A and B are shown apart, each in its own frame.
Chain A
Amino acid sequence: MGDKALAMKGGREKASVFSVLARNWSFFFLVLTVVIFSFTGKNFFALNNFQSIIHLATTALLLACAETFVIITGGVDLSVGFVLGLSAVASASTMQLLYAAHWSAPASVLVGIVVGIAASLACGLVAGVMIARFKVPPFIATLGTMGIAIGVSYHICGGFPIGYLPPGLTDIGNMYVLYVHPASGAWSFFARPASIAANQIKELVRIAPISFILIFVFLLLLWHLLKNTRFGQHTYAIGGSMDASVRAGINTRRHLILIYVLSTFLAGLAGIVDLFQSGTGNFTTFGAQLELFAIAAVIIGGASLMGGKGRILASAVGVLLLKVLENGLNLSGVQPFYRYIAVGLILIVAVVIDQLFPDLF
C-alpha cells in the first residue's frame, strides 16, 4: 500500500514507472522465474528446453487466445477444453475411416481437419445463439455445450485414443524449421540434411519447431484483430457496456455469436494441432481442466472477468508463465503435485493485484 500512496502522490514519472511495472507484473514475474529456474533446474537453460516449452504450450496458447476474446466481452467459455478433444477425436476418426477406405493420405487428412473444425464451430454457434439471442448466462450456455462436447467425443472414441491414422502426421507436427549440423556445417530447412546419416541425428541442432510459425502467425493475427480493427473495438465496447454498444449501433447479437464461434474455432484448431503433435486423436480427460487453466492464464495476463479488459500478448505471457512454472518445477526436482498449488497462489496474487490497483490497468 505504501507503493500505491507513493505512486499517487509522486511525480508523473514515478507513477508511470510503477504502473508499467504493475501492469506487466506477469511478464517480469516470467523473467524472474526463468532466471531462478536457470539456477535450480537441471538442463532448464537450454535451447531444446525452451523450444519444447513453447512447442508444448501451442494448444494452451490457442485456448488462451480464444478465452481472451470471450472474457473481454464479459463472458466465459467453459467448453474450449472439451471442444479441443471433440475436434481431435472427430478429425482423427474421420481420417482413420477414410484412410481405411483407401483414400490417399493427404485427402483423408484434409477432410478430417474440415470435419474436426466444423464440429467445433457447431458448438460455438449453439453457445453463441443461446447467449446472444436467448440471454442465457455464458457460464451455463457453454457448460451445456461442454456436456454435449464431452458426450459426443467419448461416444466417438469410446474412451480410448484413436490410432491407425494416415502416416506422417507427427512428421509434420513435430518438424523443425532449420536443422544445422555444427560439425560438418551442413544445414537445411524442414528436414534433416541429406548428408547426415541417421546415426548422427543426435549431433543435429534443431531450431524453431514448426509450431512456432503457427503460433507467431495466430498471435499476430489475433493481436491485430483485437487492437487495430473495428471488430476488436466492438469487442471491447461490448465488454465495457453492453447497453452503450447497442445504442452506439453495434449489432451486439451478431458480434457475440461471432466471438463464441471464433473461440471454439481456435479450440478446434488446438485439437488439430494436438492431433498433429501426438499422432493420435486424444479425447480431453476430466482432470485436465484445460479451460480453467486458459482462463487462469488470461486473468494472470490482466484481464477482468467483468469484461472490457484484456490483451492477447499478455494472455500469452500468462500461458508461458504457467508452462515455465510447470517445466521448471519439474526440472528442479519438485514433485509435479506442487504445480496445482503454485498456479492457485499465482492466480490469487494476480486477482488481488488487480483489486488493489484497479486504476493501473
Chain B
Amino acid sequence: MARAGGFTTLIGQRWAMLFLLIELVFFSFLGGGFFTMNGFQIVLFYSTTLALLATAETFVIVTGGIDLSVGFVMGFASVVSAKLAVRFDSLGLAPELSILFAVLVTLAIGLLPGFVNGVLVARLKVPPFLATFAVQGITYGTSLIITQGSAAINVPNLANVIGNSYFIHLVPGRGIWFFTRPEAARGADVIDIIPTMVVVTVLVIAVASFLLKRTRFGRHTYAIGGNIDAALRAGINTRRHLVVIYVLSSLFATLSGIIYMLEYVSGKADAGSSFMLDSVVAVVIGGASLFGGVGTIWRTILGVLILSVLEMGLKMMGVQTFDKYIAVGIILIFAVLIDQFFPEMIHKED
C-alpha cells in the first residue's frame, strides 16, 4: 500500500516529464523525420521565443499576477528593432553596428510597457489582468501605427546570418567550423549543430533561473506571491519589487521579440498573438499556481517543450495544426485536475 502510494506520488510529481517522454516516443515512431538531430533542433529553435515569453510569465505568475501583454510586447519589440535596424542601416552605419544599436535601443524601449504595467499594478492597485490587457492594446496599436499594418521588412541580411546561424558546423572529413558556415562544395555534407539562438536563449533562461532560485530578489518574489501582507511586514518594498517584476517580464518579452526579428528577419505586430496564452499554459503545466508563490523556471521550460514538441510533432505527422489546440486544452485541464486532486504531491518539494 505504502509502495503504491509512493509510486503514484512519484508519477504525480513527475507527470509533466513523463508526458514529455511519452510525446517524444510517440512522435519518434509516428512523426516523419522527428527522431533525427535536425528534428530535435527544429523543435528547440522553434521554442526559443515561447521559452522566453514563458520565463517572463513565470516571474509574474509567481507573484500572483498575470501578464497578458507579453505576446504583443514581443511583437512590438520585433517591429521596433526591425525598423531601427533598417533606419540605422540607411544612415550608412555598418550592418553590425546598426543591428547592435537597434537591439540596444529596443531593449531600452522595451522597459516602458513593463514600467507602465508595474506602476498600474503596484501603485494604483489595478488588477494585473486589466492593467496588462490595457497595455497590450496600447503596444499593439503602437506597433500597428509604426508598421502601418504590414510587416517591417528589409532588415540587413546580417540579422539572418546571426539568427539562423549554428554554433558548430561539421564537414565530415574536412574539419569543424564555429559560427560561420564553411564554403563547402555543392553537394558536400555540412552538419549544423546547435542553433546560436538556442544557445542565447538557454543562457538567458539560466540567468533567469538563477535570479529566481538563488538570489534575495527571487526569495522576495516567492514571498510576495505567498502572502503579500506578510512580505510587507517582513520589510520587503513590495511596490518597488512588483514594478521591477513587470519591467523584467517586459524585458524578457522584448528579448523574445528581438530573437524573433533575428530568426525571421522581419518584425510583425502580431508576432506573438497566439503565444500570450501558450506562455500562460506552459507555466501552468509546469505546476505553477495562479494564486502565486509556486513555480520554477525549469518546470516552465518543461511546459514549453511539451507544447512545442506537440506542435512540431503534429506538423511532422501531417496533422492539421489546429488540432494542437484541442490537445493543449485537454493537457491544461489535466494539469490543473492533477494539481487539485494531489496538491500535496506537487508542492511537497517546492
Contacts and interface: CB of A to CB of B under 8 A. Distances in A.
Interface of A: 76, 126, 130, 134-137, 139-141, 143-152, 154-155, 158-159, 286-287, 292, 295-296, 299, 305-306, 335, 337-345, 347-348, 351-352, 355
Contacts of A292: 68, 133
B345 interface: no
A341 B133 CA distance: 11
A141 to B, nearest CB: 7
A141 B284 CA distance: 11
A81 B137 CA distance: 17
A295 B329 CA distance: 21
B134 interface: yes
B149 to A, nearest CB: 7
Contacts of B325: 147-148, 150-151, 154
A155 B130 contact: no
A344 B332 contact: no
Q: Closest 4 interchain pairs by CB? A: A147-B329, A151-B326, A154-B322, A344-B137
Q: Interface majority SS on B: helix, strand, loop or mixed?
A: helix
B19 interface: no
Given A151-B326, A344-B136, 11 more contacts: A147-B277, A147-B330, A148-B330, A151-B322, A151-B327, A154-B320, A286-B270, A286-B273, A337-B144, A340-B138, A341-B138
Interface in B297-350: 320, 322-330, 332-333, 336-337, 340-341
Nearest to A135: B340
Q: What is the interface residue range for chain B against chain A?
A: 35 or more
A147 to B, nearest CB: 3
B4 to A, nearest CB: 23
Nearest to B127: A305
Contacts of A152: 326
Contact of B333 (A141, A335, A351): A141
Contacts of A286: 270, 273-274
B135 A148 contact: no
Given A139-B290, A151-B324, A347 B329 contact: no
Contacts of A134: 336-337, 340-341
Given A343-B137, A344-B137, A143 B281 contact: yes
Nearest to B334: A144
6 contacts: A134-B341, A136-B336, A147-B281, A295-B133, A344-B133, A344-B136
Contact of A341 (B130, B131, B137, B148): B137
- Chain A CB within 10 Å — which of B124, B135, B325 has the most? B325
Contacts of A143: 277, 280-281, 329, 332
A10 to B, nearest CB: 25
- A interface, over-half SS: helix
A151 B320 CA distance: 10
A351 B131 contact: yes
A348 B126 contact: yes
B141 interface: yes
B62 to A, nearest CB: 15
Contacts of B219: none
Contacts of B134: 343-345, 347-348, 351
B126 A148 contact: no
Given A337-B141, A340-B144, A352-B126, A140 B329 contact: no
Interface string B277-298: 1001100100000110000000
A158 B290 CA distance: 33
B260 interface: no
Contact of B137 (A141, A150, A305, A347): A347
B145 interface: yes
A355 B131 CA distance: 12
Contacts of A306: 127
Contact of B326 (A135, A155, A159, A295): A155
Contact of B133 (A130, A338, A347): A347
B171 interface: no
Interface string B238-280: 0000000000000000000000000000000010011001001
A352 B332 contact: no
A306 B128 CA distance: 12
Nearest to A140: B336
Contacts of B211: none
B129 interface: yes
